[in-house]
Structure 1
Amino acid sequence: MRIKIVMLSAFILLVACMSSCKKYLDIVPDNVATLENAFAMRGEAEKYLFTCYSYMPRDGEINGTPALFGGDEVWELPDISETSAYRRLAEGNQNVIDPIGNVYWTEMYRAIRDCNIFLDNIGPVPDMEMQEKRQWIAEVKTLKAYYHFLLVRMYGPIPVIRVNLPVSAGVKEVKVFREPVDSCFGYIAQLLDEAKDDLPETIIDPQYYGKINKPIAYSLKAKVLTFAASPLFNGNAEQSGLKNSDGTPLFNSEYSEAKWQRAAGACREAIAVCEKAGIKIYEHPNVKAAFLISDTTQTELSLRMAFSEKWNSEIIWANTQSWVGRIQVIGAPDWAPSTQARVWMDNRYNAPLKVAEQFYTNNGLPINEDKTWNYGERYTTRLAPAGHRLYIRNGFPTASLNMNREPRFYANLGFDGGIWYGQGKFNDKLESDLYWLQFKLGDPIGKSSAFNGPVTGYPIKKWIHPDNVRSPSSYTTIPYPWPIMRLADLYLLYSECLNEAKGPDAEVFSYLDKVRERAGIPAVQRAWTDFSTNPAKITTKNGLREIIQRERLNELAFEQQRFWDIRRWKLAITEMNKAITGWNIYGSTTETYYRPTNIFQQRFGIKDYFWPIAESNLNVNTNLVQNLGW
């Protein structure tokens, strides 16, 4: 429900002007009583609170956010009826006339407007305790901070809407300016500081799971300040030419280490708050029907279900406005193909070969740095040994790239010959209970039409809940809300900030190792000392930075983190100019299938780090300046 309002924010006024011939001052309130009724009693005010939540992006939906299918981590079928609009972004088709993802600009400013309306009107509600009012105000301030953050992450410097403009505002007041990016981050952090200690430590009532609490606000502040300290925003000389029309610089080109120190402090506080609230690294309880599963399978399920098991111990914030359902159906391969048509699971989304190569070896090292792993022979094929039976079909011929990899490789990805545990069969001691995939042309789930995968040969296992069940004529999924932040993310942010603030030390390693321990790989220092061709890498800030970044890419793969991380690190200019490759899905034999094949050549320039502002918005508000390069 969208309630008509007396106050309009600057950008809603601009949008209204674009859609009619009216002048700014022609917009008048036509139903004052509606707003008064919205805050007449607690029940009505709560509906408006839920309105503020309703703008949360649909993270788990096909067209929900650019980070799902608009980058280089997931590639979808080229000829399908259910394609993401953000595919065009991944293909380099951004433009200024009708920018891909421009809905964010409109929707987030509408969200901020409604948050401001709530904050302006909650005070007089009569049948509420003051403590509950303070909590609701804190929730909405956190949402307002989050919506501003989403805009800054996309556009860089933005107009900050602290309060809504009155209807009587003149043209000059409506034509707002973009604010320097440091001011934007400062205001977001200020809102979170105002909110974070008026929130409950935990949400007790299950019907309110997903509402803002203290761990969410503290963790969001940690992430916001880490972005503010990152190279894209901290001393980015490439953006020094971006200035308002009055000459105000919108980027500070001077690097500040103090930003990393502040971010480290925020991470430290957030970790303490989260752990006090009982948030901890998730471990699967090893309860599957009547069977005790092996340690190998338990580790894999701990990794898979840290993402897909709703409200597990590691989740800090999950998006209840976006439940993951449809992408489980059309993203999954068909484990038990029948004589019926393949209409339930289409394997439409796969990881490029470079992402498969990104995961570590079983020694916890990049595949080109492990002296026990033959990097040069990674594309050659051999028979899977018996020791890999819980990862690869015993005796199956597959690429060496798929062998002796870290558990996160097998927990995140399916592949030709790979085991896909679960889906109604849980006894990993029985070969008949271990589903395995076959992707070659002519195989039961190989390429059969433009509407069925595989795409690269690496479907995303992480998205698919292990308890989903395939019947001969249907596919039943276990839906879950898309996780926005979990504790492993926060631990890795803290390691990153500490390393940037002071370089390698025991505390940096300890938080990295908390994540690696659950992943079933050696601690950082042991891995690089005992197995690496470059053992000195862990002794320098630059070397450890690369390690931390790779750790984030592996641990948080397919969670919409890479899209933003490689931007804030300014690595997108490298990563998104690489070719998207996969196996030759039209190969019918081992020899012809296991050939790296180019699918698409991506292009990414400096201008692509930030979204263009739509030309229509620039025409209406002449005080807005366009991002560089557009």
Structure 2
Amino acid sequence: MKNILRKYNYRLLLLVGVFLLPTACKKDYFDTQPDNIVSVDEIFANRGQTERWWAGLFTNIPDIWNQPYAFSYSITSDEMDASNWTNPGMNSGAINADATPSDFTALYERIRLATIFLERVDGNQEIQNLANGAEIIKHYKGEARFLRAYYYWKMMKDLGPVVIAPLQSAKPEDDFQIPRSSWDECVEFVLSELALAKADLPVDYYLSGTTTVDGTQVGRINKMIVEALESQILLFNASPLYNGNTELGDFKNYDGKQLISQTYDPAKWDRAAAAAKEAIDIAEANGKHLFRVQNEDPFRAGYLSVRNLFWDGWEEEGIWVRPSSNTWQWEIHSSPRSTQGTAYNGLAVVQQLVDDFRMSSGESIEESDSYTEEAYVAENTDYYVAGTNQMYANREPRFYAYVTFNGAFNPGASKTGANNSRVEFFYTGTSGKSSAPRDWPKTGYTARKNIHPTFSVNPGVNVARPAMLIRLAELYLNYAEALNESSPGNPEVLEYLNRVRERAGLDPLAPGLSQSQLREEIRLERRLELCFEGHRYFDVRRWKIPDEPGSNQGGVFYGMNMDAGTNLSDPAYHERVPAFSRTEWQRRYYFMPYGQNEMDRNKALVQFPGY
């Protein structure tokens, strides 16, 4: 029986892996049913076809590193720019109901397919007759129910309160004129579905009779993932955008039903804190911990820990892991042109994010006496070469792991020849503007996070690795944030915030900070630790700070002067100038619009005000 189970599990991994490939959303099982399988009845009578249907339900799980041409939250927030190649309509003001970036149509399709699966899978006698068939189907159903709930949650993050379809497969004669549920109703619906899913799922998938995780099951949904998602949902639910937000008092259904709560409920923070702690506890009890690299130099240890996390640490820190990830797309667009084979050199980090990284002392650049933009370093270090501007010296370890700047060493494999081991973003430099019409960063910085040191364009070298959709550091920050709001002064706020800081090579914050001071520290920590991973876009919205200095989502964004500089230490390049502009922040950008096609079909559906 153990051998049967292991063979069966290997088969499942292949199915999950196939349907999580980056190309799967273009052509999957539901587009190419075999000619001899002509009905749903026949599909669910056949084990192989049923398993393919189940695997296809995973298809719309996003790949956070498939940037920039998949809709990218990073280039629609104050993290990055890719406007030499693409510029989402929210940046230019062109977003509207006819051109919504939301993938709600595809998600509703996947929700419907999950519903059909839940209705039909129990009738598959071929699976039921396996030695452990009932347990296999139970797990399948838990995963299908989770994915159905998750796809609703994904829509909610983009669209706000959504239309919830009936929990049975629809018939042509059914009434599809369904209004939006309120935000609170949507949250309770999703949480109720997750609770049912959790009851059918294992804590993790272990090799039979052991406590060793079965490596062939990476990507399958388990209890740890469910609780981690619950933490994320309840953190959003307690946040100012959704909790007593009178600014959106005009967001109502046609019958006058309020869609966003107008009354602040502090108990939502209690609930969010409890959910985050439960998610942490179950993860840690099952071996999850912050990934660390040991080194006698604490700074070097911090740097290697945050750099190598994405290829060496996902098994230790990753809670929800997507087994396949298009990191090639990310690496080739982020790496400088001095990379072997010539990368595209254009995912540009904004100056404000560069400035937000602390000094190695933990001070901000404004607080530090050693920070200057008027001098240049005299000697090489492990992170940059002699002649680099002093503004990039003595910064915290994450800065060197996450951002590539003028004078930094190449993040991947360098071309041969003089100066290619270092990055030159100044105008005439090897990765500067003068010799490339599009492949240059408008700000003078590119993203460095999750670029493997062996990455090469030609010959092609791309180390395959999963993507962490939720990791333990996020849960620690979820808990710190929620606890700071629900129980100010609780020592665990500082404890869990400091765990993330210390892993990154920073000294712990000392006790004595006020609630508001800790709130700012937690928000900054999320900005830095989770940058480029799809969080910032939503964080500034749920905190209701998208038009505040330091987190503005519109207007002018700054960088170095890409039109100047003939050498590494040229002061003309190291000048803060406007790099690009976006339309000013508008209230309608809190949510994306439902597509006009859906508005035309469903006359009970109200559009978010402003579209």
Is the counterpart of residue 596 in structure 1 residue 576 in structure 2?
Answer: yes
Q: How does 1:293-312 map to 2 (within 5 A)?
A: 296-309=299-312, 311-312=314-315
Structure 2 unmatched runs, 5+? 1-27, 206-212
1:72 is matched by which residue type in structure 2? D
What CA distance in whole angstroms lies between the structure 1 residues aligned with 2:531 and 2:486? 25
**Is residue 451 of structure 2 the alignment partner of residue 464 of structure 1?**
yes
Taking the aligned partners of 1:568 and 1:421, their CA distance within structure 2 comes to 33
Aligned mates of 1:37, 1:285 — CA distance in 2: 55
Cα separation, 2, equivalents of 1:39 and 1:359: 53
Quote the offset at 1:45 in angstroms: 1.8
Once the two structures are TM-superposed, the CA of residue 350 in structure 1 deviates from its matched residue by 1.4
Separation in 1, partners of 2:30, 2:596? 29
Partner deviation per Cα, 1:374-421 (whole Å, 9 max, x = no partner): 5xx64x2312254x712221x3141x3312211111110111112346
In structure 2, the residue matched to 1:145 is 149
Contact kept in structure 1, 2:64 and 2:533, CA below 8 Å: no
After superposition, the Cα gap between the structure-2 partners of 1:556 and 1:157, relative to the gap in structure 1 and judged at 3 Å, is same
CA shift digits 1:318-355 (9 cap, x unpaired): 22354321221122014456xxxxx6312111101011
Q: Is the 8 A contact 1:331 1:348 kept in 2?
A: yes
Give distance in 2, aligned partners of 1:166 and 1:389: 64
Residue 72 of structure 2 corresponds to 66
Q: Which residue matches 2:47?
A: 42
| CA shift for structure 1 position 434 | 11
The answer as to 2:221 corresponding to 1:212 is yes
Question: CA distance change for structure 1 residues 308 and 434 in 2, over 3 Å: closer, same or farther?
Answer: farther
What is the aligned partner in structure 1 of residue 57 from structure 2?
Answer: 52
The alignment status of 1:396 with 2:377, answered yes or no, reads no
Q: In 2, Cα distance between the equivalents of 1:88 and 1:627?
A: 16
Q: Deviations over 1:482-519 (max 9, x none)?
A: 32111101100000000010113210000001101111
5 Å-filtered alignment, 1:613-624, equals: 613-624=594-605
Partner residue, 2:536: 562
Q: What amino acid sits opposite 1:389 in the alignment?
A: T
Q: Which residue of the partner structure matches residue 545 of structure 1?
A: 519
Alpha-carbon spacing, 1:390–1:357, altered in 2? closer, same or farther (3 Å): same
Distance 2:468 2:556 in 1: 29
Amino acid at match of 2:239: S
| Cα distance change of structure 1 residues 510 and 385 upon mapping to structure 2, 3 Å threshold | farther
3-state SS of 1:503 partner: coil
Q: Read off the aligned partner of 2:609 and give its amino acid letter.
A: L
CA contact (8 A) 2:314 2:468 kept: no
Return the offset for 1:310.
6.9
> Where does 1:183-582 land on structure 2 (aligned, <5 Å)?
183-203=185-205, 204-284=213-293, 296-309=299-312, 311-320=314-323, 322-335=325-338, 344-368=342-366, 370=367, 372-373=368-369, 378=372, 380-386=373-379, 389-393=381-385, 395-398=386-389, 400-420=390-410, 423=413, 435-447=421-433, 448-469=435-456, 473-525=458-510, 538-539=513-514, 541-574=515-548, 575-582=552-559
Distance 2:43 2:357 in 1: 51
Distance in 2 separating the partners of 1:107 and 1:240: 30
Q: Distance in 1 between matches of 2:406 and 2:164?
A: 50
**Letter of the 1:348 counterpart:** G
Q: Please state if 1:107 is matched with 2:106.
A: yes
Match for 1:392: what amino acid?
A: Y
Superposed displacement of residue 461, structure 1: 0.8
**Retained in 1: the 8 A contact 2:204–2:223?**
yes
Relative to structure 1, is the Cα distance of residues 229 and 274 closer, same or farther in structure 2, using a 3 angstrom cutoff?
same
TM-score normalised over the length of structure 2: 0.86
The 3 A distance-change label for structure 1 pair 165 and 477 is closer
Aligned to 1:608: 589
Amino acid of the residue matched to residue 438 of structure 1? E
Where does residue 13 of structure 2 map in the other structure? Answer: none
Cα distance change, pair 107–520 in 1 and its aligned pair in 2 (3 A): same
Distance in 2 separating the partners of 1:563 and 1:269: 26
Sequence identity percentage: 29
Q: CA deviation at 1:620?
A: 1.8
Secondary structure in 2 aligned to 1:549?
A: helix
In the alignment, the residues of structure 1 paired with residue 419 and residue 466 of structure 2 have an alpha-carbon distance, to the nearest angstrom, of 28
Q: 1:385 to 1:434 in 2, by over 3 A?
A: farther
Q: With the length of structure 1 as denominator, give the TM-score of the two structures.
A: 0.83
Runs of 4+ in 1 over 6 A off after TM superposition: none
- Map of 1:95 onto structure 2: 96
Measure, in 1, the Cα distance between the counterparts of 2:69 and 2:325.
11
> What code does the residue aligned with 1:63 have?
Y
Which AA in structure 1 matches 2:309? A
- Equivalent position amino acid for 1:410 in 2: Y
Q: Is the 8 A contact 2:298 2:505 kept in 1?
A: no
2:23 alignment counterpart: none
CA–CA distance in 2 between the matches of 1:420 and 1:285? 23
Aligned partners of 2:339 and 2:414 also within 8 Å: no
RMSD of Structure 2 on Structure 1 (CA): 2.6
Q: Distance in 2 between matches of 1:423 and 1:433?
A: 13
Change (3 A) 1:164 1:198: closer
Q: For this pair of structures, how many residues does the alignment match?
A: 559
Cα distance between partner residues in 2 of 1:269 and 1:349: 37
| Structure 1 unmatched ranges of 5 or more | 6-30, 287-292, 338-342, 426-431, 527-535
Contact 2:396 2:505 in 1 (8 A): yes
Q: For residues 339 and 73 of structure 2, what CA distance do their matches in structure 1 show?
A: 31
Aligned residue identity for 1:66: S
User: Cα–Cα, structure 1 residues 439 and 158, in superposed 2: closer, same or farther, change >3 Å?
Assistant: same
What letter matches 1:283 in structure 2?
R
1:57–1:64 contact (8 Å) kept in structure 2: no
Query: Match for residue 13 of structure 1?
Result: none
Say which SS state the counterpart of residue 466 (structure 2) adopts: strand
Partner residue in 1 for 2:9: none
**Residue 138 of structure 2: aligned partner:** 134
Q: Is the 8 A contact 1:72 1:90 kept in 2?
A: no
Distance 1:576 1:77, change over 3 A: closer
SS state of the match for residue 221, structure 2?
Answer: coil
In 1, Cα distance between the equivalents of 2:358 and 2:524? 9
Alignment of 1:161-200 (within 5 A): 161-170=165-174, 173-200=175-202
Distance 2:346 2:178 in 1: 43
Residues 449 and 306 of structure 1: is their aligned pair in 2 closer, same or farther, counting only changes over 3 Å? Answer: same
CA contact (8 A) 2:54 2:144 kept: yes
Which residue identity is paired with 1:459?
A: T
Letter of the structure 2 residue corresponding to residue 509 of structure 1: L
